[in-house]
Homo-oligomer: A and B are copies of this chain.
Amino acid sequence: MSEFKDIYNAINEAQDGKGLTPKQEQILKAAVEIFAEKGYASSSTSEIAARAGVAEGTIFRHYKTKKDLLLSIVTPFMTQFTVPLLASHFTKEVFDEPPEGFEQFLKKIIKNRFEFARENAPLLKIVLQEIAFQPELQAHYESVFLEEVFPKFERALNELKEQGSVIDFPNRSIIRMIISTVVGFLVTRFLLAPESDWEDEEELDRTIHFIMYGLGGK
Which residue numbers of A lie inside 8 Å of B, CB to CB?
38-39, 41-42, 125, 129, 132-133, 167, 169, 173, 176-177, 179-181, 183-185, 188, 191, 203, 206-207, 209-216
* Chain B residues within an 8 Å CB radius of A207: 177
* Chain B residues within an 8 Å CB radius of A214: 209-215
In the complex, the answer to whether A133 meets B215 with C-beta atoms within 8 Å is no
In the complex, the answer to whether B213 meets A42 with C-beta atoms within 8 Å is no
* Chain B residues within an 8 Å CB radius of A209: 167, 214
In the complex, the answer to whether A184 meets B183 with C-beta atoms within 8 Å is yes
In the complex, the answer to whether A180 meets B173 with C-beta atoms within 8 Å is no
The 21 listed contacts between A and B (C-beta, < 8 Å) are: A38-B133, A39-B41, A39-B133, A41-B42, A42-B133, A129-B129, A129-B132, A173-B203, A176-B184, A177-B184, A177-B206, A180-B181, A180-B183, A180-B185, A180-B188, A183-B184, A184-B184, A209-B214, A210-B214, A210-B215, A212-B214
In the complex, the answer to whether B129 meets A125 with C-beta atoms within 8 Å is no
- Oligomer: number of copies: 4
* Chain B residues within an 8 Å CB radius of A188: 176, 180
Cross-interface CB contact of A181 among B41, B132, B177, cutoff 8 Å = B177
How long is the Cα–Cα vector from A210 to B203 in the complex, in angstroms? 18
> Which chain B residue lies CB-closest to A182?
B180
In the complex, the answer to whether B180 meets A184 with C-beta atoms within 8 Å is yes
Distance in Å: Cβ of A193 to nearest Cβ of chain B: 9
The residue in A129, A180, A185, A207 that gathers the most chain B C-beta atoms within 10 A of its C-beta is A180
The residue in A125, A214, A216 that gathers the most chain B C-beta atoms within 10 A of its C-beta is A214
* Chain B residues within an 8 Å CB radius of A203: 173
How long is the Cα–Cα vector from A216 to B207 in the complex, in angstroms? 13
Distance in Å: Cβ of A207 to nearest Cβ of chain B: 7
> Which chain B residue lies CB-closest to A215?
B210
Distance in Å: Cβ of A127 to nearest Cβ of chain B: 12
Distance in Å: Cβ of A170 to nearest Cβ of chain B: 8
> Which chain B residue lies CB-closest to A133?
B39
* Chain B residues within an 8 Å CB radius of A180: 180-181, 183-185, 188
In the complex, the answer to whether A206 meets B169 with C-beta atoms within 8 Å is yes
